[in-house]
A and B are shown apart, each in its own frame.
Chain A
């Protein structure tokens, strides 16, 4: 058994792990990324790849608590700028398409929400424009008759998650960062002022001493933190995505829905990707989560209502992917109180926020001020006091009230 050292051990080679690895490696830190399987194959590798800079639905189907769009928007603004320069930074194409997007509304209530949202966006410096149904259809004739209004945002777009993560890992590797695939972390213990991380099995076992552990394990975030004795109220959930065969119709914009779980876009290869956070049938963190016919049928019916041309396509494939969810549906990012050197990041919008969170974590680790205010997003709010269990401490009673009042 050889003990190695690293300046930072990053647990999880998803988009967040890859981003922070790249940021740290480029600043001269020796980083090691560990993943239980192939890099980028779980949460972020199964996601839709949307870059939504305007606010979208506040609740996906099955979601208990609405998102706090007003709080999010300044962060989205900051994330947007970073996507603008990402391909240059990574020295490769990751299929970033900033061709703009619509968030549509169908009912009167949704139209009112659209106007509220427009106000917050203006305040956050995100340019959006409100269109009535006919104007939206004039701009995107593929939109169906039920669309009553829409906001248009130039900054919306998407990127290919299957390219972003490898590109970040390659960038880290060019600066001396290392990635170990199929090396599940088994133990994390205090080691003097730092940490000792044990990963892999048998001959492939690695023992690494490091002052910094970054837990960006997505759906396994809570499990990894627990190895270090930290109990966080994180619940992995599985959602599902649907892809059609390639289509010759051209839809270059992202289309989302304000009131229901829907995101549709046509990717570079020509397939239509339909998602929106519909729940999967079952979650299986050890294997493959099960897809739900119910969600498929519901999501497709919604997609066809908003974009009728999809009706003529064929469904090619569907899949379910796990994601990390916090009880308040807000992202979590920061150092764990009482566990110096142990950082966590994850939760809502991790893909859109990956470049921003990578930079933010680097700043936190280097003791520099972060590029955005994340003081209220730290893991402290999710910590379970000794003796308590995650289930007894549902956050539903606390934060959402404060957050809602902020929205009104």
Chain B
């Protein structure tokens, strides 16, 4: 019945051994290995060029003048292409067909493409974890990731005097990138207290490369005399047409101001959240990560999800950084090769990747332990959020409306709170405000709705389309008749 119906839909259908969604470090690593073993591989990415956020390619003019900030990314992309993987950039994967396995995508021109494979590798990455504060909708207020994107891709600065705030190791390299561009980083407000003298000691232990890397950033920032205000959070941003000052508070007392700083840009981010819409839409089981409050796909050591034909790798499987992402991509590739091709992957290679993956997982856990867990942070920040703060910017829903809905008839149910308050119903589909809405719901209705498993998952459910897509794309799937608008 499915085949019959699918035949009725129009648009190209791509059949491959492996389809990889996401052209960042994890997806590229998997693609290079699988394609070099001779499998028919397609890798898709939404962006016009492969690389993902980490290996974001600089614009040609930027590369010519300033060079490539991450040349290893360029080399990895070249390997993927040389190995014969089909690279479909500018392709948005927005859903799953009724058969539960065919991916629905649209190409750069908006034409529909359907893709089927014996193995799907989801390397959909992460999005930034944001938390609202009064004034966060002012121009000049953005995320560290966006500032990094401008710096790396366009060699453009987000502002002249910048405060970075939030939590997590990512704030440090962003600060260093901005300093290299000549920006005055007025200070870094870190919600936790990770930067103790012991950090340098940890780095000096020799092997935890990531901690040593962090210590290196701290040292560079010290040389540039950038203060790191620990246990400090943003209380509010002020400005007329654009942010002109930021007021900070102690994390323990987030409603009480301690310092106001003049800025022309403010970047606030609390790390990253795995992008799991597609995995969830494919029916992959997820678990709630207690420390982060995020839904994380359940996977085995090779990244295989609860569905045997789906792998989730890289940041989409849990935040771990570029090295872990590459190791996970390779581990999934090895597993697929073992299943798909008779000849086995060399034992030494499998061991090397598996041991790197385990080592990196330990380092990630160690690094994570330095910073406050997002779920714990949320429990502190959400109750202190002023009532009139705009939490959902797409739909202009304020904190007090969300609290009232959650405490009222929604009875602590995240989804009911969304439907009744409209928070999360706008074009960003809750990616921006979801974390905060979940925190606000919990802060006024601490008991999760009894009995219903879904209500304990602190994320909005995954719905098609993953991103808003033009209806014209759907009309092409319906066939030429609906294009004409003619019935006869």
Chain A residues close to B by CB (< 8 Å): 13, 36-41, 45, 106-107, 144-146, 162, 166, 169, 179, 181-182, 184, 200-201, 204, 244-245, 269, 281, 287-288, 291-294, 296-298, 300-301, 304-305, 308, 310-319
Interface pair A184/B451, CB less than 8 Å apart:
yes
Contact with A along B99-112 (1 / 0, CB 8 A): 00000100000000
Residues of A within 8 A of B5 (CB): 294
Given contacts A41-B416, A281-B98, A319-B463, contact A301 B478 (CB under 8 A): yes
Interface pair B419/A182, CB less than 8 Å apart:
no
Residues of A within 8 A of B143 (CB): none
Which single member of B420, B468, B469 contacts A162 (CB below 8 Å)? B420
Q: With an 8 A cutoff between CB atoms, is B477 at the interface? A: yes
Range class of the B interface residue count: 35 or more
Interface pair A305/B463, CB less than 8 Å apart:
no
Residues of B within 8 A of A182 (CB): 411, 413, 449-452
Instruction: For the complex of A and B, list the 8 residue pairs with the smallest distance between their C-beta atoms, beginning with the closest.
Output: A38-B416, A301-B482, A38-B413, A181-B411, A314-B468, A301-B478, A297-B478, A182-B449
Contact with A along B454-488 (1 / 0, CB 8 A): 11000001011100111110110110011001110
Q: With an 8 A cutoff between CB atoms, is B410 at the interface? A: yes
Interface pair A315/B409, CB less than 8 Å apart:
no
Q: Report the minimum CB–CB distance from B178 to chain A (whole Å).
A: 34
Interface pair B474/A296, CB less than 8 Å apart:
yes
Cα separation A107 to B487 with both chains bound (whole Å)? 9
* In the complex, residue of chain A having the shortest beta-carbon distance to the beta carbon of B461: A288
Cα separation A183 to B468 with both chains bound (whole Å)? 36
Given contacts A169-B409, A179-B409, A201-B450, contact A313 B95 (CB under 8 A): no
Q: Report the minimum CB–CB distance from A172 to chain B (whole Å).
A: 11
Pairs across A and B, CB under 8 Å, 16 listed: A38-B413, A181-B449, A182-B451, A201-B451, A204-B450, A245-B427, A281-B98, A293-B97, A293-B104, A300-B471, A301-B482, A305-B485, A312-B472, A315-B469, A315-B470, A315-B474
Given contacts A304-B471, A305-B485, contact A39 B98 (CB under 8 A): no
Residues of A within 8 A of B98 (CB): 281, 292-294
Cα separation A145 to B104 with both chains bound (whole Å)? 31
Interface pair A41/B487, CB less than 8 Å apart:
no
Given A106-B487, A182-B449, 17 new contacts (CB under 8 A):
A37-B455, A40-B409, A40-B416, A146-B486, A169-B409, A182-B452, A294-B9, A297-B9, A297-B474, A300-B475, A301-B481, A308-B485, A312-B471, A313-B471, A314-B469, A316-B465, A318-B465
Interface pair B477/A314, CB less than 8 Å apart:
no
Which single member of A13, A41, A181, A305 contacts B482 (CB below 8 Å)? A305
Residues of B within 8 A of A310 (CB): 471
Q: Which of B177-227 contact A (CB under 8 A)?
A: none
Interface pair A291/B464, CB less than 8 Å apart:
yes
Interface pair A311/B451, CB less than 8 Å apart:
no
Q: With an 8 A cutoff between CB atoms, is B275 at the interface? A: no
Q: Report the minimum CB–CB distance from A10 to chain B (whole Å).
A: 14
Q: Which of B1-59 contact A (CB under 8 A)?
A: 5, 9
Residues of B within 8 A of A166 (CB): 408-409, 420
Q: With an 8 A cutoff between CB atoms, is B429 at the interface? A: yes
Q: With an 8 A cutoff between CB atoms, is B69 at the interface? A: no
Q: With an 8 A cutoff between CB atoms, is B323 at the interface? A: no
Which single member of B427, B449, B454, B485 contacts A287 (CB below 8 Å)? B454
Cα separation A71 to B247 with both chains bound (whole Å)? 66
Which single member of B95, B461, B485 contacts A146 (CB below 8 Å)? B485
Given contacts A293-B95, A293-B98, A296-B474, contact A304 B485 (CB under 8 A): yes
Cα separation A49 to B470 with both chains bound (whole Å)? 24
Interface pair B487/A305, CB less than 8 Å apart:
yes
Given contacts A37-B449, A38-B416, A245-B427, contact A315 B471 (CB under 8 A): yes
Cα separation A269 to B426 with both chains bound (whole Å)? 10
Q: Report the minimum CB–CB distance from A46 to chain B (whole Å).
A: 9
Q: Report the minimum CB–CB distance from A289 to chain B (whole Å).
A: 11
Cα separation A387 to B59 with both chains bound (whole Å)? 75
Q: With an 8 A cutoff between CB atoms, is B238 at the interface? A: no
Cα separation A304 to B474 with both chains bound (whole Å)? 11
Q: Which of B68-100 contact A (CB under 8 A)?
A: 95, 97-98
Cα separation A301 to B451 with both chains bound (whole Å)? 40
Q: Report the minimum CB–CB distance from A259 to chain B (whole Å).
A: 11
Residues of B within 8 A of A297 (CB): 9, 474-475, 477-478
Q: Report the minimum CB–CB distance from B483 to chain A (whole Å).
A: 9
Cα separation A263 to B429 with both chains bound (whole Å)? 24
Cα separation A145 to B487 with both chains bound (whole Å)? 10
Residues of A within 8 A of B478 (CB): 297-298, 300-301
Cα separation A316 to B463 with both chains bound (whole Å)? 10
Q: With an 8 A cutoff between CB atoms, is B264 at the interface? A: no
Interface pair B474/A38, CB less than 8 Å apart:
no
Cα separation A304 to B471 with both chains bound (whole Å)? 9
Interface pair A41/B427, CB less than 8 Å apart:
no
Interface pair B485/A41, CB less than 8 Å apart:
no
Cα separation A66 to B459 with both chains bound (whole Å)? 40
Cα separation A281 to B461 with both chains bound (whole Å)? 17
Cα separation A298 to B5 with both chains bound (whole Å)? 12
Residues of B within 8 A of A288 (CB): 454, 461
Residues of A within 8 A of B468 (CB): 245, 314-316
Interface pair B427/A145, CB less than 8 Å apart:
no
Cα separation A298 to B451 with both chains bound (whole Å)? 36
Cα separation A107 to B416 with both chains bound (whole Å)? 41
Cα separation A80 to B350 with both chains bound (whole Å)? 70
Interface pair A300/B420, CB less than 8 Å apart:
no
* In the complex, residue of chain B having the shortest beta-carbon distance to the beta carbon of A243: B425
* In the complex, residue of chain A having the shortest beta-carbon distance to the beta carbon of B470: A314
